[in-house]
Structure 1
Amino acid sequence: MTETLNDPAATSVPQDFDALKRPASPSAVRSRGLRLQTLMRLRWLAIIGQSLALITVSGLLDFSLPVAQSFALVAAAVLLNLYLMQRYPNDTQLPEHMAMFLLGFDIVQLAGLLALNGGLENPFAVLMAVPVVVGASLLPPRPTIALGILACALASLLAFWHLPLPWIGNQPIDLPHLYVAGIWLAILCTVAFTAIYVWRVAEEAQTLSDALTATELVLARETHISDIDGLAAAAAHELGTPLSTIALVVKEMQRDAPEGSDAEDLRLLADQVARCRTILRKIGSLGDDGAAPFARQSLGELIAEAASPHRDFGVEIQIEKYGNGTPEPAWRRSPGILYGLGNIIENAVDFARNRVDITARWDSETVSITIRDDGRGIPIDILPRLGQPYLSIRSGRDDPAHALDRKGLGLGIFIAKTLLERSGATISIRNAQEADGGAVITISWPRATLDAAAVN
C-alpha cells in the first residue's frame, strides 16, 4: 500500500466537497476575510493606548514632547474610524485592497508618532509589527508582504530621522548607534518572523477547518443513506399488505375468468404483482441485519459490510477473527465507523498486489482491527505525516517507478482517522517488517468504550 490517502471523490464524498479543494491561486487560499468592525475595534484600542501614553508622558511625567502634533496624528485615526462608521456597515467584509490600505494607514500613523517621540529609541517601536501580524493572520501572502515591506522601510527611516526621545529634565538621551542598530534589526526580525509564523498557523487552521467540514459532509451523507435504507424498508413493509390483497384478488379473478384476452391480461397482472413482491423483498432487506441506522452490529458484521464493496477487484480480502474467551463485541451501527473502516480497506485494496488481510482481535480490555496489504508499503518520508489534511502523495499501484505525482488531496485518511477517533479509537500506521512488505494499519478501541456505546 504505497499510499493510504484515497481520493475522496472515489469514496462517495458528496459533491459539496469539490468546493473544499485547495485553490490554485495564493490569493484564494483564505476563504475568511477581515471584518471592518474588527479592524475598527483594534484601532480604537490603539487610539486609547496612544492617548494614555501621551497624557502620561506629558502630564504625569512632565516630559517635553510635541503634544499638538502627536495628538493630531491620534485625531487622524479617530477621524478615519468615524468616517468608516458613517460610510460602511459594521459587518462589512473588507476587500483585500481596502484591508491592506487601512492596515497600512495604521503603520504610517504609528511611524509618525514614533518620529515625533524618539524613533526607534522609543520602547513602543515594537508595535510597528502589530498591523503586519494582523494582516498575516487574515490576508493572503501578497498584501501581507506589502505591509511587511512598508513597516520595515519606515522602521529604517526612523533609525535616522526622528525627534529626540522625551526624557527626564528635558535632557535628550543619546543611545549608542550600535544599540539603535540592534533595535532596528530586532524590529525587522520581529516583523518578518512573527508575520511568517502567524501566517503559517492561520493557513493550517483554515486547512484543518476545511478538512473537518469535508468530514462532516461525509458523515452526514453516510447517515442520510442509512436513514434512507431504513425508510425504504419501512415503506416496503407498509406496501406489502395492499400488494398481498391485490395478488389475492387477481388469483380469484383468474380462477373464474374464461380463456381469452381477459385471462391473458390477468396472467400478465399476476406476473407484475409477483415482480413487485420481489422488488419489495429486496428493498425490505435494506433494513435487515443491522443496516437500519440504530440496529446493533457485531464486529464481524462491521468488517464484512465495510469490505463488501471492495471485493471482486482482483485482490483477495481475507478476514480472520480471534476472541480471547470473551463474547464478540457488538454495538449500534455507526456510519462514521463504517465509512472510516471502509476507506482504509479500499486504500489497502487499491495498493495491494494480490491480498489484503483483515484481522479482528478482542479480549476483556481492548478490541482491534488490523488491515495489512502486500503492496510496497508507505514511503518512509511520508509515514510520519499521514493523517494530515491536504497531504499530496498520490501514487498508483501500477507505477513501476513508485513515483509520487503530487495530485492527491490527502483527505481520505484524514477523514477516516477523524471519524474513527471520534468513536474512541486509536490508529497506528506502520510498514510491515516481513520480506513481503506492505502497510499495516491497526485500529484499537478500549472494550469499555464499545460496551458503553452498545448500552447507549
Structure 2
Amino acid sequence: MQPRTRLARMRARLAHGVPPEDPAGRKNFLLLIQLRWLAAAGQVASIAIVSLFLGITLPVVPMVGVILALVLLNIASHLRLRLRFGVSNLELFAALLFDVAGLTAQLYLSGGATNPFTSLYLLQVTLGAVLLKPWSSVALVLLTVMCFAELTTAYRPLAFVEQEGLGLMSLHIVGMLVCFALNAALLVVFVTRISHNIRERDTRLADLRQQAAEEDHIVRMGLLASGAAHELGTPLSTLSIILGDWRRMPALTANPELTDEIEAMEAEVRRCKSIVTHILMSAGEARGLEAGMTTMHRFLDGLAADWHATRPGAGLRYENSFDRDMPIVSESTLRQVVFNVLDNAYEVSPDRLLLHAARVGDKLRLRIEDRGPGFDPAILGALGRPYQSTKGRLGGGLGLFLVFNVVRKLGGNVRAENLPGGGAAVELTLPLDALSIEEEGR
C-alpha cells in the first residue's frame, strides 16, 4: 500500500473531479435555511393571530401542510450541508424556488393578490439578485411575476367577519405596514450577512491567486534546480574519475599531504553527489511519486542528525519533547524546509543553535532559535515574500519564501520573532494530519 499525505489526498480529490469546498456558498445556503425557519415560524404565528383574534376563517390544514413541507425541506437542506462539497448556484436557485413555491401556496390559500404579504416576493427577488448568477436571478424574477399574476385570478378568498370599527381595508393597511417592516428588517439582516460572505469569498480568491502566482514561481525554481542537478551530474562524475586516477599515480600517493587532500576532495565530491541525488529525489517526491513510512521520533532524530553531519562544527542543541511516537510519512519537502531554516540560523549563529520539537494539541511544532542579530523589522514585516533579505546576495530571501509556501501547502503556518535577549526564532506548526498515513484503497 502506498502511504499518502494530506497534499496527496487533496490532489487525488481534484484529479477525480471532486470540487473543492466553497465556504461562501455554504454560508449563504445556511442563511437561506435560517430564513426558511423564520418563515415557518412567522406563518404559524400569522395563522394563529388571524384565526384566533381577527375572526378570519383560514384553511388551516393545507396551510399547516405547506409549513410541514418547508420544515422537511430544511431538514433535507441540513443533511445536504453535511456533505463537504461546495454549494453551487443551481442549488441556491432551487432553494429560492422552493421558498417562492411555499409563499405562493400560502398566498393562494389566504386571499391571493389581496393578501398584503404578497410583497414578500421582493425579499426572494432581492436575495436572488445578490446570491445568484444573472440568468438564474432573471428567471426568478420572471417566476415571481408569473406567480403574482396568477394569484390575481386564482386564489381562495378569505372568509372575513367584519368587526365594529375595523374594516377589511384597515386590516389590509395594517398588514401592509407589518409586511413592509418585516421585509425591511430581513433585507438589512440577510443582505448584510450575505455581503459579508461575498467579501470573505473575494478575499479568499485574492489569496488563492497570490498563492497560485507564488506556486508558479516555486515550480519554475524547482525546474531550474532539477535541471541544474542533472547538469552537475556529468562534471561530478568526471571529477570522481580524475580523483580516482590521481590516487593510483605514484608521484601523488608518495606525498602524504597530497593523499590527504585527494581524500578530502573525494569526500566533497561524494557530498556534492549526495546533494544532487537528494535534489532529484525531492523533486520526485514533491510530485507525489514516492513517499516513505517512518515514525515521528525516527524522522525528527534523523533530521537533526543528518543536518548536524553536514555541519559538524555547528553548536546545535536538539531537544525532542514530542510526547509519543507515531507512524508518519517521511516528507522530504518538510525535511528540506527545516534544513533551510537551520542553514539560515547557522549563517548568523554557528555556535549556538536550538532545534526543539514538541506536540501542541493535534499539531507538531518545530522551533529553531539562534543568537544572531535577529531580523530587521522591515524584513520581519514582509517575511515569506520572495527576495526579502539583508544578506545582499542576488536572489536572497528565497529560502524563507519556500519555507512559508511548503508549510502552508501542508496546512501549517510559520511564525518568526526576535528574542528579547538577542537572536531570533522561527516556529513551524504543522497539523499531524498532514504527516499521517492513509493507505491507498482505504
Quickly name the TM-score band, shorter chain normalised. 0.3 to 0.5
Structure 2-normalised TM-score? 0.39
Structure 1-normalised TM-score? 0.38
The structure with higher relative contact order (CA 8 Å, sep 6+) is 1
